[in-house]
Amino acid sequence: MEISPSPTILMEVYIDRIFCNGCGKCVDLCSMGVFKIVNKKAEAARAQVCIGCFKCRDFCPTHAIAPRWVMRVS
């Protein structure tokens, strides 16, 4: 019997470290606690819990964050 690949839809949260100024606004506004500041730059340390509200994308003052839905097939 052939086993079909199963698609999974999840969020990826890309941060452009050149544009990030380390202000920490994303840490405060993300209700899921995705971000932390490391060496004065934001990291999406817990991207796996992102719910795709896009607040970080809309309110980052330097437009450094690009969250997006992706589909993985395993």
Residues that bind ligand SF4 (CB under 6 A): 13, 15, 20-26, 30, 32, 34, 42, 50-56, 60-62, 64-65, 67
CB of 21 to ligand SF4, least distance (A): 5
CB of 2 to ligand SF4, least distance (A): 36
Joined together, the tokens standing for residue 68 give: 């997006």
Closest CA to 8 of 61, 73, 56, 52: 73
Closer residue to ligand SF4 in complex, CB, 64/72: 64
CB of 74 to ligand SF4, least distance (A): 22
Is residue 61 within 8 A of residue 42, CB to CB? The reply is no
Q: Which DSSP state fits 51?
A: -
How far is it, in rounded angstroms, from Cα 58 to Cα 55?
5
Closer residue to ligand SF4 in complex, CB, 3/56: 56
